[in-house]
Amino acid sequence: MTKKKKKRALFGKRFKMAVGGTVLVLAVFCAVFAPLIAPFDPYQQDLMARLKPGFWSEKAIAGHILGTDNYGRDLLSRLIYGSRLSILVGVASMLLSALIGTIAGIIAGLKGGMTEQAIMRFADAQMAFPDILLAILMAAALGGNALNLILVLGVSRWMVYARVVFGLTRTLKQRPFVEAATLYGGNDRYIMRQHILPQVAPVLIVVATLQVAQMILQETALSFLGLGLPPPAATWGNILAEGNTRLFIAPWIANFAGLSIILLVWGVNMLGNGLREQYDPRMISR
Amino acid sequence: MILGYILRRLAFLPLTLLLVAFATFIVLRLTGNPVDIFLDINRTPEQVAALTKRLHLDEPIPIQFLIFLGDLLRGDFGESLQFSNSASAVVWGRVGATLQLAGTALGLAVLLGVLGGIVCAVWRDRAADAVISSIAVAGQSMPSFWLGMLLIEFFALQMRWLPTSGYGEPRHLVLPAVTLATILLPNFVLITRTSILELMSEQFVVTGRSKGLSRRRVLFTHVLPNAVNPVLSFLGVQVGTLMAGSIITETIYAWPGVGRLLISSIFNRDVPVVEAAVFFIATAIALANLTVDVLQMLIDPRIRRA
């Protein structure tokens, strides 16, 4: 019997949240204090020190821990600065899509009828369209800067929230406390704020956390395809794309950029999965 | 009954495609004048007039959209601006390569993913499950383009076993297909695991066990046949991911498919080809989803009644 009890998941939710949270806090710390932490100016070129490997090699130049890139810029400093854009775009585009999606989902759930059909069928249609394709099209049309990236990614993912919130709102609408509030004359906006949003919030937080990870991946993908911030901007996607052309002579450039991305995304995913187990897991199970 | 369902679903197809057409049109036509981008500074007014007329840019925008829709119905996206051929012909020429890559990758992902998921579910919370599930979760955080680079670094540059890029022979297909399959693989492992675990607590499974059937017998006759459907419906959702992933994979490996054509056409502002490529991808996804829905209905009588 005791053996059966020991068969718990290897990593508990607390462990996941702690590890994920730590990674995220560290990354945010790096992003905020980048000028203080980074050993070099990320745009400072040094043509005498081009493509030098880092600490693992004898050819390393003192100070450049992770080596240098094709223009002799310090890789570590560029990666530290790169975390700024990834986190900024990841979080801001998540907030934008959560805002659009939540409002659309609640309205569809409360109003029902034609409004619901219009919003949810539109969401379905957009779901059938790969988000990266829409993002590629929009980024190509608008041009790459941080604001456009946030806009593009925010618009491409609102349906995820709309669907979750819509489903919850529809069930909540029939609960006695919402019906009572309606009978007492509470208008839609009041019910939305006082009764629906607090109930939806935990689920929303979980979905939003997991979406930040997706957004960061999408942003690096767009940068990698050349549709993000134009070079020489220090973004992880750009560094990876530069590394891609020098895989043979300087593989560390792509490797460390990739490692940075996977570490942050993995941390955010861990945090999200931990949060998902913390709150009712059935509500959000895909 | 089934035919009626298929017809009803087919009736929705034009609606989806209309939305796609509308989105493509807005994004590509209203955000920049292709004439400015395509002709250089030394252009003559005659050249501008000719290109404007060729792309119908002199008409009011609603008329432009109607012309666009009319052309679309005839499968005519106009002449490509970079290749001297019709845009639809250019895209069609690349479809084979994309299907080859996407098909191989999907097959790999489904096969390995379902097997992995079964292993995880059967030996739940044991070492195998912990390892496979953890790798799957880590895999979901893996940027596909970086994975592609790592594979090139190791198998092509270090070991020199496989070519870094190219097209035609089977050995060219290995790395791109593995990269694309890895994008999908973690999701299939996790979804199979969850579906099987959910089924295992169902009453008919418990009944099967309590009347004395072996675990293996219950797994093969009660659980697995019922797990086909959730996995299949997830496959429908994943077709979008597959297409998006193939855009990136094709770019890394210089694979001559629709995805790479789309990206290069965006940079060359070849609007007709971009439209045709986007439209092809959207139609492929819509049709794949339709096929999955119909298959599900054929397999599971419960859906037919609902």
Greater pLDDT, B42 or A98: A98
- Of the listed ranges A64-68, A238-242, A268-272, B175-179, the one predicted with least confidence: A64-68
Spatial separation of the C-alpha atoms in residues A66 and A53, rounded to whole Å: 7
A5 has pLDDT over 50: no
A218 has pLDDT over 80: yes
B283 has pLDDT over 90: no
Arithmetic mean of pLDDT, A246-254: 83
Let me know: does B114 contact B192? Beta carbons within 8 Å. yes
Are B266 and A125 a contacting pair at CB < 8 A? no
Are B252 and A244 a contacting pair at CB < 8 A? yes
pLDDT for residue A98: 94
Nearest CA in chain A to B148: A244
Q: Which tokens is A185 given?
A: 């004359």
Strand partners, A24: none
Spatial separation of the C-alpha atoms in residues B9 and B294, rounded to whole Å: 9
Of the residues A6, A137, A286, the best mutation for testing chain B's interface (the one with the most B CB atoms within 10 Å of its CB) is A137
pLDDT for residue B303: 66
Determine the distance in angstroms separating the CA of B184 from the nearest CA of chain A, rounded to an integer.
14
pLDDT for residue B108: 93
Are A126 and B137 a contacting pair at CB < 8 A? no
pLDDT for residue A280: 59
Among A21-25, A56-60, A140-144, the range of highest mean pLDDT: A21-25
Residue B9 pLDDT grade (very low, low, confident, very high; cuts 50, 70, 90): confident
A4 has pLDDT over 50: no
Arithmetic mean of pLDDT, A181-201: 85
pLDDT for residue A11: 61
Arithmetic mean of pLDDT, A256-270: 90
Arithmetic mean of pLDDT, A124-128: 75
Residue A182 pLDDT grade (very low, low, confident, very high; cuts 50, 70, 90): confident
Nearest CA-CA partner of B33 in B10, B56, B15, B14: B56
Are A133 and B241 a contacting pair at CB < 8 A? no
Q: Which residues of A touch B263 (CB under 8 A)?
A: 136, 225
ipTM of model over 0.85 = no
Mean per-residue pLDDT over chain B, rounded = 83
Q: What percent of chain B has pLDDT over 70?
A: 94
Instruction: Write the CB contacts of A179 (distance below 8 Å, at least 6 apart in sequence).
Output: A173
Arithmetic mean of pLDDT, A49-62: 76
Greater pLDDT, B167 or B255: B255
B209 has pLDDT over 90: no
Outline where A128-250 has alpha helix (H).
131-142, 146-156, 158-173, 176-183, 188-191, 197-224, 236-244
A2 has pLDDT over 50: no
B37 has pLDDT over 70: no
Are A226 and B20 a contacting pair at CB < 8 A? no
B40 has pLDDT over 70: no
Residue A286 pLDDT grade (very low, low, confident, very high; cuts 50, 70, 90): very low
Spatial separation of the C-alpha atoms in residues A241 and B201, rounded to whole Å: 47
Q: Which residues of B touch A132 (CB under 8 A)?
A: 244, 247-248
- Segment B50-100, tens digit of pLDDT: 877 777 777 787 888 888 888 888 877 777 878 888 888 888 889 989 999
Residue B136 pLDDT grade (very low, low, confident, very high; cuts 50, 70, 90): confident
Spatial separation of the C-alpha atoms in residues B41 and B288, rounded to whole Å: 45
Instruction: Write the CB contacts of B108 (distance below 8 Å, at least 6 apart in sequence).
Output: B177, B178, B181, B185
Are A221 and B32 a contacting pair at CB < 8 A? no
- Segment B12-33, tens digit of pLDDT: 777 777 877 887 777 766 656 6
Let me know: does A142 contact B269? Beta carbons within 8 Å. no
Let me know: does B289 contact B225? Beta carbons within 8 Å. no
- Segment A89-102, tens digit of pLDDT: 999 999 999 999 99
Mean per-residue pLDDT over chain A, rounded = 83
Greater pLDDT, A268 or A71: A268
- Of the listed ranges A210-219, B50-59, B121-130, the one predicted with least confidence: B50-59
pLDDT for residue A9: 53
A1 has pLDDT over 50: no
Let me know: does B47 contact B39? Beta carbons within 8 Å. yes
Structure-token match 């907030």, residue found: A95
pLDDT for residue A282: 54
Interface of B with A in 184-243 (CB under 8 A): 191, 194, 240-241, 243
Let me know: does B246 contact B259? Beta carbons within 8 Å. yes
